[in-house]
Amino acid sequence: MTGAFAGWPRSAFDVLLQLEGEPSADVRQRFKREREDLVRQPMIELLNTVADADPAYEDFAVWGYGKVLLRAWQRQGAIVRVSRNIEYGVGFDLDGLHISLAWWYAPSEQIERYRAAVADQGSGPRLVAILNKLEGYQITGDLMKRPPRGYAADHPRADLLRHRSLIASRSLGCDEWVHTPAAADRVLAALDQLRPLSRWLVTKVSPGSS
């Protein structure tokens, strides 16, 4: 049964250190139970606490210990689904907590809606203003080499028009609070910062699919 979120124990870092690089199957099996209890379970408890604070974050998934990507043994990932192809990400590793909002793997119709919204004289500047307020966040994504056909190369938002995905991410750090319930407050504050971007994407790019 999931308990109350109390932060990650210090021993969680010891477990992750044992899974550095490409751990053998024997090593992964040896630390499987400890990783579940000390690394993954606190993430589940964190996401439940976040969902209790705001029902908008109820639809979440916390990745298990099965087949994972390269070096992901040392990283515990989770997502909060927002809408089709739009999700928040929460990660925990040796560097502490990480947060993101991603619109990605989008179908062509979403990409066209995104481009139209970026080019629009109302919603385009609004997106720029939202991104400018995300201090400390790295804005990345899958970018074309130049603006898509039909849009001028010198368009005032040419850089945003090049995006086929849009990701805002940052590290929340690894201070003493990561071992306490205060980590949930940090995550909630970061999600609140990202909410304007989330709303813009849902409204302009993925309408009717939330």
Domains, the chain, ranges and CATH?
A: 11-204 (3.30.930.20)
State the pLDDT at residue 23. Answer: 86
Q: Does position 89 have pLDDT exceeding 90, yes or no?
A: yes
d(CA 66, CA 69) in angstroms, rounded, equals 10
Structural Rg of the chain based on CA atoms: 19
DSSP string, 107-142: -HHHHHHHHHHHHSTTHHHHHHHHHHT-TT-EEE--
Q: Are 103 and 113 in contact (CB under 8 A)?
A: no
| Tens digit of each residue's pLDDT (9 = 90 or more) over 99-142 | 999 999 999 999 999 999 999 999 999 999 999 999 999 999 99
The pairing of strands 96-103 and 166-173 is antiparallel
Q: What pLDDT does 210 receive?
A: 39
Using a cut of 0.85, tell me whether the model's pTM lies above it. Answer: yes
What pLDDT, on a 0 to 100 scale, did the predictor assign at position 66? 63
Report the alpha-carbon distance of residue 70 to residue 21 in Å, rounded: 8
Q: How far is CA 54 from CA 5, 50, 57, 62, 127, in A?
A: 15, 6, 6, 18, 24
**pLDDT tens digits, one per residue of 15-48:** 999 998 888 889 988 999 999 999 999 999 999 9
pLDDT of 70 > 70? The answer is: no
- Mean per-residue pLDDT over the chain, rounded: 93
Interatomic CA distance for residues 86 and 168, integer angstroms: 12
Q: Which of the four pLDDT bands, split at 50, 70 and 90, describes residue 71? A: low
* Higher pLDDT, residue 206 or 200: 200
Backbone angles phi and psi of 185, in degrees to 5: -65, -40
What is the structure's pLDDT at 72? 76
